[in-house]
Amino acid sequence: MKNRLTRRAFIATTAASLVSPAFASVRSRDGALLSLFADDSKGATRPDSQAEPDSWKDAGVLDLSRSPYAKLKTVPVRAVEIQDGFWSKRRKANLGASIPSMHDELVEHGRMDNFLRLEGMSTAPQKGPVYSDSDIYKWTEAVGLALQSGDQPELRRTTEAMIRDVVAAQEPSGYLNTYFVGDKAPRRMQYDVQTTGHELYCIGHLLQGAIAYYRATGDRTLLDAGIRFVDNFLLPNYGPGTNRKGIVAGHPEIEMSLIELYRTTGKREYVDLAGYILHGDERIPLRREQITYMFCGIPFTSRTKLEGHAVRAMYACCGATDYYLETGDPQYWKTLNTLWDDLTAHQLYVTGGVGAREAGEAFGDAYELPNATAYGESCAAIGNMMWNWRMLAASADAKFTDVIERSLYNGINSGMSLDGKTYCYRNPLAFDPSGDWRDHEDPEGRIRNPWYDTTCCPPNIERTFAALPGYFYSTSSEGVYVHLYDNSVMNWRLHDGNGLKILQQTRYPWSGSVKLTVSPATPAEFAVFVRIPGWSARNTVKVNGEPVSGARPGAYLPIRRRWSANDTIELSFDMNTQQLRANPAVVEDRGRIAFQRGPIVFCMEKLDQSTREEAANLAGYTVKPEGPTASRFEPDLLEGVIVLEHPASLSRSAGEGGLYVAGEPSKAAETPTTLRLIPYYAWANREPSAMQVWIPDTKA
Amino acid sequence: MKNRLTRRAFIATTAASLVSPAFASVRSRDGALLSLFADDSKGATRPDSQAEPDSWKDAGVLDLSRSPYAKLKTVPVRAVEIQDGFWSKRRKANLGASIPSMHDELVEHGRMDNFLRLEGMSTAPQKGPVYSDSDIYKWTEAVGLALQSGDQPELRRTTEAMIRDVVAAQEPSGYLNTYFVGDKAPRRMQYDVQTTGHELYCIGHLLQGAIAYYRATGDRTLLDAGIRFVDNFLLPNYGPGTNRKGIVAGHPEIEMSLIELYRTTGKREYVDLAGYILHGDERIPLRREQITYMFCGIPFTSRTKLEGHAVRAMYACCGATDYYLETGDPQYWKTLNTLWDDLTAHQLYVTGGVGAREAGEAFGDAYELPNATAYGESCAAIGNMMWNWRMLAASADAKFTDVIERSLYNGINSGMSLDGKTYCYRNPLAFDPSGDWRDHEDPEGRIRNPWYDTTCCPPNIERTFAALPGYFYSTSSEGVYVHLYDNSVMNWRLHDGNGLKILQQTRYPWSGSVKLTVSPATPAEFAVFVRIPGWSARNTVKVNGEPVSGARPGAYLPIRRRWSANDTIELSFDMNTQQLRANPAVVEDRGRIAFQRGPIVFCMEKLDQSTREEAANLAGYTVKPEGPTASRFEPDLLEGVIVLEHPASLSRSAGEGGLYVAGEPSKAAETPTTLRLIPYYAWANREPSAMQVWIPDTKA
């Protein structure tokens, strides 16, 4: 495909001309790209000869390096190498199967043709829903994050060609969207289109993809296209004031993207615009249902509970936390904590999934957490993790990391098959392949599919797995925080510039033993904050073999001392299997037990049960709380998992016969059995089978 | 409003010219109306001098008098007078408040303007959804059925004026619909419109309304309009064969209406057309989701389970049963019983409601019967009752009457407030007024509202209450069946023409004692089949004071003897309060108990509980199965209801605190209390309050 970059070289970016001196360093780029803008008459970004040439490499998943209200600073993805262990298998599937196959799916389903058509390179009609451009951008973000862990030349070439095709579709005005073109062009940014048309949602994802790609490669091509949209099309025409039209996000996403764009360019207007969008614009008339569903359009700080479309709500919370990290607005912090309390007291599945309802892909009422009909969209669980990552940065409070871990290992991890080629859109906690809860499922009862016409979830999971190294650590003025545990090595630096290497050796999450080897470049006094998971009741921590006291579940244990090369920290967490019970207000979980071991939530699939032939359905099984539970690592099962075995009963008549009986139910037909439980994330990787997380207690 | 009948006198009805001799008697009408058609050049219906002049008065809710596969024949609504007792209050509210206020609501919301506009009598724009005409027709049916219990001159005048306005909007082609007019006229009966446009659904309701009104008054004005639509517009252009276009019902309703039109006119083509529609037309391309949702479009006899939109499915089953009653097709009977088994084994709420899901107003999977999110649309419960009424007629099996009674007393009865002025659209089995399950509810947590833009349910309940006398009895070649119990008097005749009067004296459903006084005009031998409800374990039956054996729960007890005037039957049913438990596969009911006494299902409203101030929410209450339950009639509560009192515990911490805990939940904070339970049908008649039907068992 020919390079059409030069054709667009006339399009100016005005962003850099407004950059404040503090941000000069981030304006660097490689020379080849710079030359494109050399003759830009409107004032192109100029290279700053004082800047560090590779400063774009130092930004993490977010760039919080200058965020005044971020207690924790991110560590670059490239600074952490995840080695052979739990996540390496998932990341290998992500890079080796998921990202390439999703590329092919996107191309096959015309998502690139949508762009090429506008350049006269395709005659295919527009394909996919109104938000289809975002899938390309989110995939690009996944690639960008993946490339931060190491170059993949072929993937990079493919992506850069796609980026060129995307940018070539941008109009001279800066507008870029492949749906609102032709006879739909007059509808652009109309208020009714803003609520449903996803124009700014797409641009938000473009910006995130562009920033990730820039942080991987220094290539600003897509980033500058995003800046052109914002600077040339959006800011002059939309926003507060009588000379501009109003904005409603419709699907929140632009808010966090604008703030990350500010962090990348230093242009403060982006923060202000995000704040304006988070506040809502009274000029735009909205119905109550829209305000609920979209989770935008009224002041974010007037919200008191999570409601409406779960992904929208989570992304809005991400944007609002980003806004807090830059402004410190106490009303935002208060609201964010109110919403977080609502999340964890009323709305969070034990898998870390969120969004109970299929209708509106929405949050339910407090305690409305059905299992079979759970929506738990993969994107919503990811949004939940992204939000908690920002709350963690703002507070250094491990309660947010507990939510990150719960979502990541369970309700997000379940979203991609072990082979990386199929995906769950929704992530229920109970499933019957003969049922028809199949809006996103196939007729044979397979809940995982390689493609969805609304394919938001697959690239969202891809970007999350690709970003994973960036979630392992943070730094603060006091030292370094250790959030996640897996075999890995970090090579980064403390705030004073002292280099720091941390080696993790562990079989986490199967084992609760973790050995950290801490090696500062120069011996120095600082704190290593090791996370004690909330689920771990009993913990031991040793430094160089000597016990350290003070470990509390759900808190970071600061180990302040003078560290020298090859100092060790040994952590031992409580890996006893836990029987979880839900608040009695969760009606579907009443009298039921869920099993959790370490961060892993378990489930039973019917196909693993020795009595599967005798059971009409899973309703006949009840577990004996007294146990005992046996756990065993099975290396050949589901790429290697711990399996739990637990005593249970099977009532063969359960699930048969009439709906209602008067008096006590008969217990005559109960036979003892032993349940086999597998990690929830690994369900639905074999033939379709009934599954449940919450299993009735024999006593109930 | 001026009488525009003469303006339409030129419109011919061709129906009567094809009537078979067996049906001659039903062609009678009053002379005034006949004269309208005296100069009809296309062949108007001619009076049959041999016919009984008032034969239209003898038809019941259905006219099964000549249906060859109806074991039971209906008894006219007008032949049964419901006297002071349980239903008289509901029927008084229906006639005195509901029907008049709904008239005003319909007019106020432009539903009559839709017709008047087409006659140049209104300039108001089209109002309401595409199916809005049906609301007028269903209301007309309610009036027609109400007038069968006695003339209401003002109501009759109002309705006849409305009927004239409706008929005046009919086009010369016979087409009648106020939505597909003007620039929408070209879309009429297009295949995509047939699936969603409700044109035939509206005409089905027109026919039902017209037939009810005709059976009340002999007035054929609306009936002839319906016949013109079918004979002049539909039959010549749509149906099987290469010279006609296909039909898909879209929303089943036309099937049962066509068959009732056949029963009213004798024109067999209507049955054939209904059969064709029930079979589906392969020429019309439909997606799998449409076939599921619409419950039509493929052969009815290929269905194996209830699914999709619940009202559509129930109406389809009504039509299919009507088709069986006329044709005896064994494949239909087999399918209907398969579907009925699915209903009662997997899909029926304990309240007799059906349709678990808000999404698509649909049936769920087997055992998917959530409580708070239950949809249980009033219309679906009514459709369920209508279907079971037809199954009962085909079989004389009391298992169908048990479903009728369960729906009628509970899930239908709940649909209209005690004062007759507000309605439930959905009928959940648990409710929290602070929740947001409010698609059809108001922001203050009131689930009952006077008006819905889709106002299908209110007139549906009105027609059901108005028709109620017609559901009390049937006749067969062997005698008379007694289905429902309430103070009432029947004046009708046996098949041999012998007059029969039955007086019922009872406080049913509060009391289980019913006294029937059976008075044939001439002493004769026949059977009185008294229904022993399925919920009544122990029963006594006496005739003239002498015990009769053989009563079995859920069966009709035939009492065959020579009956003379003032013979008595005394029935005594088991009114012990029953604790119902659901099949363990119903996840939300697991470990929970529902209370039923006689046919009445109970619930708890928080406002009745002495501990309401201490309870965070209803999740804290658990009942002690060992009881005892006390029952007491409270004449001043909710227009007089039995209240149950049952020992329980309140855990004050339940519903507070976190979502998940490891290990056994604490039971420390439990305090004993006594629950007050009211009949489910009477809930939500005071201030908004939390409610639940299924209450956790203390042991769970």
Residue A664 contacts B, CB cutoff 8 Å: yes
| pLDDT for the residue numbered A653 | 67
| pLDDT for the residue numbered B390 | 98
Nearest neighbour of A659 by CB, restricted to B348, B436, B654: B348
User: What gap in Å lies between CA B217 and CA B54, rounded to an integer?
Assistant: 10
B366 φ/ψ angles, rounded to the nearest 5 degrees? -55, 135
Are the beta carbons of A253 and A209 closer than 8 angstroms?
no
User: In chain B, which residues have their Cβ closer than 8 Å to the Cβ of A304?
Assistant: none
In which order are the strands placed within the sheet that holds A73-74? A73-74, A473-476, A479-482, A524-532, A555-563
Closest listed residue to residue B170, CA positions, set B410, B335, B329, B8: B8
Residue A668 contacts B, CB cutoff 8 Å: no
| pLDDT for the residue numbered A689 | 93
Residue A670 contacts B, CB cutoff 8 Å: no
Residue A354 contacts B, CB cutoff 8 Å: no
Q: Does the distance separating the beta carbons of A594 and B367 come in below 8 Å?
A: no
Lowest-pLDDT choice from A8-17, B248-257, B368-377: A8-17
Find, in chain B, the residue whose alpha carbon is nearest to that of A369.
B659
Q: Does the distance separating the beta carbons of B292 and A436 come in below 8 Å?
A: yes
User: What gap in Å lies between CA A295 and CA A310, rounded to an integer?
Assistant: 9
Does B21 have pLDDT greater than 60?
no
| Radius of gyration, alpha carbons of chain B | 25
Query: What residues have CB less than 8 Å from A110, skipping those under 6 apart?
Result: A124, A125, A126, A127, A128
Best to test chain A binding among B583, B589, B664 (most A CBs inside 10 Å): B583
* Mean pLDDT within B311-340: 98
Find, in chain B, the residue whose alpha carbon is nearest to that of A366.
B435
Are the beta carbons of A338 and A398 closer than 8 angstroms?
no
Nearest neighbour of A583 by CB, restricted to B430, B655, B662: B655
Overall size of chain A counted in residues: 700
| pLDDT for the residue numbered A556 | 98
* Mean pLDDT within B434-443: 63
User: Two tokens at B444?
Assistant: 């203050």
| pLDDT for the residue numbered A274 | 98
Find, in chain B, the residue whose alpha carbon is nearest to that of A434.
B365
Residue A397, min C-alpha distance to chain B (Å): 18
| pLDDT for the residue numbered A53 | 55
Residue B361 contacts A, CB cutoff 8 Å: no
| Consecutive H or E run containing A671 | strand A670-679
Q: How far, rounded to the nearest angstrom, does the alpha carbon of residue A199 sit from its chain's CA centroid?
A: 21
Nearest neighbour of B587 by CB, restricted to A358, A371, A699: A371
User: Two tokens at B199?
Assistant: 């044109």
Q: Does the distance separating the beta carbons of B583 and A662 come in below 8 Å?
A: no
Q: Does the distance separating the beta carbons of A657 and B583 come in below 8 Å?
A: yes
Find, in chain A, the residue whose alpha carbon is nearest to that of B365.
A435
| pLDDT for the residue numbered A494 | 98
Find, in chain B, the residue whose alpha carbon is nearest to that of A698.
B700
User: What gap in Å lies between CA B478 and CA B481, rounded to an integer?
Assistant: 9
Strands A479-482 and A524-532: parallel
Find, in chain B, the residue whose alpha carbon is nearest to that of A664.
B581
Residue A366 contacts B, CB cutoff 8 Å: yes
Peptide bond into B628 cis (omega under 30): yes
Find, in chain B, the residue whose alpha carbon is nearest to that of A349.
B659
Q: Does the distance separating the beta carbons of A658 and B583 come in below 8 Å?
A: yes
Find, in chain B, the residue whose alpha carbon is nearest to that of A692.
B587
Residue B450 contacts A, CB cutoff 8 Å: no
Residue A374, min C-alpha distance to chain B (Å): 12
Find, in chain A, the residue whose alpha carbon is nearest to that of B622.
A584
User: What gap in Å lies between CA B317 and CA B556, rounded to an integer?
Assistant: 24
Residue A535 contacts B, CB cutoff 8 Å: yes
Are the beta carbons of A191 and A248 closer than 8 angstroms?
yes
Tell me, which fold does domain A472-572 have in CATH?
Immunoglobulin-like (2.60.40)
Find, in chain A, the residue whose alpha carbon is nearest to that of B615.
A585
Neighbouring C-beta atoms of residue B684, cutoff 10 Å: 26
Residue B259, min C-alpha distance to chain A (Å): 32
Nearest neighbour of B654 by CB, restricted to A372, A585, A664: A585
| pLDDT for the residue numbered A510 | 98
Q: Could you tell me the mean pLDDT of each successive run of 10 residues in chain A, 700 residues long? A: 32 34 35 31 37 75 97 98 98 97 96 96 94 98 98 97 98 98 96 97 98 97 98 98 96 98 98 98 94 97 97 98 98 98 97 93 94 94 98 98 98 97 94 72 76 91 98 98 98 98 98 98 98 97 98 98 98 97 92 97 97 88 94 97 97 73 72 96 95 89
Does B529 have pLDDT greater than 80?
yes
Best to test chain A binding among B587, B588, B595, B698 (most A CBs inside 10 Å): B587
The predicted-structure confidence for B162-194, as pLDDT tens digits, reads as follows 999 999 999 999 999 999 999 999 999 999 999
- Give the angle A10-A208-A334 at the CA atoms, nearest 5°: 130
Residue B561 contacts A, CB cutoff 8 Å: no
pTM: 0.86
* Mean pLDDT within B569-584: 96
Provide the chain B residues 391-430 that lie in CB contact (below 8 A) with chain A. 430
Q: Does the distance separating the beta carbons of B372 and A659 come in below 8 Å?
A: no
B449 φ/ψ angles, rounded to the nearest 5 degrees? -135, 150
Does B523 have pLDDT greater than 60?
yes
User: In chain B, which residues have their Cβ closer than 8 Å to the Cβ of A664?
Assistant: 581, 625
ipTM of the modeled complex? 0.86
* Mean pLDDT within B202-210: 98
Task: With H, G, I as helix, E, B as strand and everything else as coil, classify residue A273.
Answer: helix
Provide the chain A residues 576-615 that lie in CB contact (below 8 A) with chain B. 578-588, 590-592, 594, 596
Residue A672, min C-alpha distance to chain B (Å): 17
For the ranges A120-134, B1-15, B614-628, the one whose mean pLDDT is highest: A120-134
User: In chain A, which residues have their Cβ closer than 8 Å to the Cβ of B359?
Assistant: 358-359
Best to test chain A binding among B660, B692, B697 (most A CBs inside 10 Å): B660
Does B655 have pLDDT greater than 60?
no
| pLDDT for the residue numbered B214 | 98
| Consecutive H or E run containing A270 | helix A269-279
Residue B620 contacts A, CB cutoff 8 Å: yes
Are the beta carbons of A77 and A469 closer than 8 angstroms?
yes
| pLDDT for the residue numbered A337 | 98
User: What gap in Å lies between CA B468 and CA B478, rounded to an integer?
Assistant: 23
Strands A660-662 and B578-582: antiparallel
- B652: confidence class by pLDDT, cuts 50, 70, 90: confident
User: In chain B, which residues have their Cβ closer than 8 Å to the Cβ of A359?
Assistant: 358-359
Residue A363, min C-alpha distance to chain B (Å): 10
| pLDDT for the residue numbered B40 | 36
Taking one residue from A and the other from B, the number of pairs with CB-CB distance under 8 angstroms is: 175
Higher per-residue pLDDT: B669 or A535: A535
The residues of chain A that CATH labels 2.60.40 are 472-572
Nearest neighbour of A580 by CB, restricted to B581, B654, B660: B660
Residue B437 contacts A, CB cutoff 8 Å: yes
Q: Does the distance separating the beta carbons of A664 and B583 come in below 8 Å?
A: no
Find, in chain A, the residue whose alpha carbon is nearest to that of B654.
A584
| Consecutive H or E run containing A431 | strand A430-431
Residue B578, min C-alpha distance to chain A (Å): 6
Nearest neighbour of A582 by CB, restricted to B594, B660, B700: B660
Q: Does the distance separating the beta carbons of B659 and A344 come in below 8 Å?
A: yes
User: Two tokens at B655?
Assistant: 């519903």
| pLDDT for the residue numbered A525 | 98
User: In chain B, which residues have their Cβ closer than 8 Å to the Cβ of A593?
Assistant: none
Q: Does the distance separating the beta carbons of A625 and B654 come in below 8 Å?
A: no
